[in-house]
A and B are shown apart, each in its own frame.
Chain A
Amino acid sequence: MIRYVLKRLLFMIPTILLTSLIIFFAMKIAGGDPVKQILPENATVEQQENLREEMGLNDPLVVQYARYMAGLITGDMGESYVTGKDVLQTFMERLPMTLALGGSALIVACIISVPLGIYTALNQNTWKDTTGMVFALFGVSMPNFWLGLMLMLLFAVKWKLLPSQGAEGPEYLVLPALTVGLGLAALITRTTRSAMLDVIRQDYMTTAKAKGASHRRVIYYHGLKNAMIPIVTAIGMQFSLVMTGSALAEVVFSWPGIGRLVFESIDKRDEPMVTGAIILCCILMSIINLVVDLIYAFLDPRIKAQYSNKG
């Protein structure tokens, strides 16, 4: 098991290296001239040259990349061109906000989807099934930001129930989490439904029923227990979607997370910030993926056995 984790961690290195390479060069090409970004518009040519030399921008790109990677290893990812703040530090300040939003969105999604999935599976091919699935699909069929704007219109502007934007307490989390969560609901509902359909047909369910277990007990104890693995897998697979969804909701609700940081930095051509934030996102996602995999192993002894064999 430990060997497996180590191996996975080792695999992360080339991933991160390649990502940083691609993003670094992409931003170098797309980012424009940083000197013009930092200096005021009326700076003299001499000033520009001095700064360029000082920042090492006259070196070949490869050298600049090597320098950047050397910095990355020691945790020095440069400073923002716009605010002059340390990139890593800014990212770490924003990270808890995105995790909080993503986490609560997942919880919202599960609260909606798992019961809905079970309900539709139990009523397969009836109008209840169709209605339930269409309902689940609504969330994924809308652009996330549009749903966010509509929710804001209703809850914050019309009914004044919830704050429209900001991040000062738990109540501020409700609308963004609902927005992202509804977008995730479809996939989890769908997975729950098909997993339950699978399980319902299994022999042990019939056996349990034959043995006289109550309907409720059969479904929730025997059924849900076995449907859990594909459901957790689906949730694990959603993390990329969670990040994407959160990023847009952050813009709509002024939630100070990573997504908003990246978009605003791209808009301002804040090259070190964009490069750094995306590389850090990549590291973060790799770690999350690893944790999700480990959770499967923990959940399912068969998978665990597989790892030990391989490892």
Chain B
Amino acid sequence: MKRILAMLLALVMVFALVACSGGNNSGGNNSGGSGGGSTTKGEEGSIPGVQKTLTIGIASDINELDPQQQNDQINNNCIALTHQPLVFLTNDTNEQVACLAESWEWTDDTHLIFHLVQNATFNDGSPFTADDVVFTFEKAMDPDQSAVAATLQLVESVNKIDEYTVEFVTKSYSNELLAVLAGYPLVILSKAAYESGMDKPYTVGTGRYKFVEWKEGQYVKFERNENFWGDDPGQADEIIFKPILEAASRVAALQSGDIDVCIDPPINMLEDLQKDENITVETRDGTRLFYMGFNCEKEPFTNQTLRQAVACAIDRDMIIEVVLKGLGKAQTTVVNRGVWSFYDEMEGFDYDVDRAKQLLSEAGYSEGELAVTLYVSNAAPYTTIAPIIKQNVEAIGITVNIEQFDEATLKDKCQSGEQQMFLWRWNVIDRLDEIYTELFSTDYATNYHQYSDPYVDEMAVKVLTEKDKETRLQLSQDLQTYLVEACPQVPLYVADLVIAYNKNLQDTYLFGGGNHNWSWAYVSLN
């Protein structure tokens, strides 16, 4: 008996030990004084009246903190804390304003000159100069070192003029080069950090915060850069991003105070959250367009009239009501609502079953003749949208089979053109080229529609390079009308941005598409 007891005890102890060592993994950081991913609810930081830690509950895992190796929204949220771009995109007017560059001008069609700020420093104390800019962009343009080289295809070289002036030599004029440079993959890196041979040199930037640590799957932690060069430094001592993938858990964490911000709270929980007096629910216009695309190269959707018939069969209002409880806006055009030159006045193909049936017979099909597949990701909201579309389209006599995949597989399949219809989304804040070229240009990798039309290709280039604003507006709107008629996709809705946070959260800087900048945010204790 004793022996058995001893064995059992030993077993328990082994587990207890393992359990402790597991706890210590995260606990060890706690002993360092600053909470390793744990909240300091109500604890005051070094700035009076400001909660020490701001914890943000995010909906997907962070997977890369090297700016040029990624272009995921959630990584960009982190990079926005530690790094700064040459020009900064504002969240209200969608304009590029001065950041690390004080001013800039196109000297001719192929030369863009930037005058840099002269007092900026990196968060390791070293000064920021033209060398860092040249280094950053030469690295970014090298496809072996950067995943975003393609966005800089237009740039031929980046040259240093003097210590605080750089020149971009381009192949042609572009309306959107500045917007590209405002993107977080192209923030300025420190040349000195890379040359020092330090671990993770890409974490050194000029931003308001410093990278502390990343425990994969648990949290990423940043602390305030005490030597920030500008005059509006960060407020909270620490900012922590915590992935909580299960939506219900994320909301629970906000309600119990474990996190201060809940990204993407499920729409159906909003009512509950709004009743909670400690929580603010904010909604603002979104920039992410959800759509149903057709594969225009594969039967039967090579037939334009058939595409139009299906478009007429889809009840967008119902989708918005069910999926978003009304927190979204329907649209006819393919350009995301809010982007410059957005034009929604064309007739388009609104929900009209009779018209749909008529178009179907014009397309040369009778009811009940066709059966098509709809490829969807197995994540929300697609799993809710898909059955509605199935029901809608079957109402005009086309059988729809839903096939579900994980997102990576779905992308693969859409890229190689296996799909007939698919559900996808596209987030665009201010660059038309991300729509006209990336979605509809012949053979572009993200053109899942497999759409190919020389007229569209040509117009896309014109919109990108036309200098006269009036003419450009006209071109862009003509192209929209043309694309709606061609109907490679059925735009469903732009979802409003919904975010829930601690009612004492101050100074947020939110973007409708989710590329938030948390550099100024803090929880007030007053």
Q: Do chains A and B touch in the complex (CB under 8 A)?
A: yes
Q: Is the CB of B408 within 8 A of A268?
A: yes
Shortest beta-carbon distance from A301 to chain B in Å: 10
Question: Does A18 count as interface, using CB distance less than 8 angstroms?
Answer: no
Residues of A within 8 A of B392 (CB): none
Q: How many interface residues does B have (CB within 8 Å)?
A: 61
Write the B30-74 contact mask toward A (1 if CB under 8 angstroms, else 0): 100001111000000000000000000000010110000101000
**Across the A-B interface, the 7 shortest Cβ-Cβ residue pairs:** A103-B15, A100-B22, A96-B22, A100-B19, A164-B252, A269-B408, A256-B217
Q: Is the CB of A97 within 8 A of B246?
A: no
Asked whether A256 and B15 contact (CB < 8 A) given A32-B412, A40-B150, the answer is no
Shortest beta-carbon distance from A289 to chain B in Å: 15
Asked whether A42 and B248 contact (CB < 8 A) given A100-B23, A256-B217, the answer is no
Per the bound structure, the CA–CA distance linking A168 and B1 in Å amounts to 38
SS of A interface (majority)? helix
User: Which B residues between 7 and 30 are near A, CB-CB below 8 angstroms?
Assistant: 7-8, 11-12, 14-16, 18-19, 21-23, 25-27, 30
Chain B interface: which of A79-87, A122-130, A192-200, A275-283? A79-87
Q: Is the CB of A254 within 8 A of B412?
A: no
Per the bound structure, the CA–CA distance linking A157 and B61 in Å amounts to 23
CB-contact partner of A99 in B1, B22, B64, under 8 A: B22
Write the B371-414 contact mask toward A (1 if CB under 8 angstroms, else 0): 00000000000000000000000000000000000111101100
Residues of B within 8 A of A163 (CB): 253, 256, 258
Q: Is the CB of B248 within 8 A of A152?
A: yes
Residues of A within 8 A of B147 (CB): 39-40
Q: Is the CB of B406 within 8 A of A269?
A: yes
Shortest beta-carbon distance from B463 to chain A in Å: 19
**Please, which residue of chain B has its CB at the minimum distance from the CB of A235?**
B11
Question: Does B85 count as interface, using CB distance less than 8 angstroms?
Answer: no
Per the bound structure, the CA–CA distance linking A151 and B22 in Å amounts to 23
Per the bound structure, the CA–CA distance linking A93 and B411 in Å amounts to 31
Q: Is the CB of A100 within 8 A of B18?
A: yes
Write the A193-221 contact mask toward B (1 if CB under 8 angstroms, else 0): 00000000000000000000000000001
Show the binding face of B for A, using Cβ within 8 Å.
1, 3-4, 7-8, 11-12, 14-16, 18-19, 21-23, 25-27, 30, 35-38, 61, 63-64, 69, 71, 143, 147-148, 150, 215-218, 242-246, 248-253, 255-256, 258, 406-409, 411-412, 415, 438, 444-446
Chain B interface: which of A58-66, A180-188, A259-267? A259-267
A-B pairs with beta carbons under 8 Å apart, 5 shown: A100-B22, A164-B249, A164-B256, A168-B30, A168-B38
Residues of B within 8 A of A251 (CB): 245-246
Q: Is the CB of B38 within 8 A of A169?
A: yes
Q: Is the CB of A99 within 8 A of B248?
A: no
Shortest beta-carbon distance from B58 to chain A in Å: 11
Show the binding face of A for B, using Cβ within 8 Å.
32-33, 36-37, 39-44, 47, 82-85, 90, 93-94, 96-97, 99-100, 103-104, 106-107, 149, 152-153, 156-157, 160, 163-170, 173, 221, 225, 228, 232, 251-254, 256, 260-261, 264, 266-269, 295, 298-299
Q: Is the CB of B246 within 8 A of A103?
A: no
**Please, which residue of chain B has its CB at the minimum distance from the CB of A94?**
B217
Residues of A within 8 A of B256 (CB): 156-157, 160, 163-164
Per the bound structure, the CA–CA distance linking A157 and B246 in Å amounts to 14
Q: Is the CB of B411 within 8 A of A41?
A: yes
Per the bound structure, the CA–CA distance linking A167 and B36 in Å amounts to 10
Q: Is the CB of B18 within 8 A of A103?
A: yes
Residues of A within 8 A of B243 (CB): 254
Interface centre among A153, A166, A251, A256 (most CB of B within 10 A): A166
Shortest beta-carbon distance from B215 to chain A in Å: 8
Q: Is the CB of A43 within 8 A of B143?
A: yes
Asked whether A41 and B22 contact (CB < 8 A) given A32-B408, A152-B249, A166-B37, the answer is no
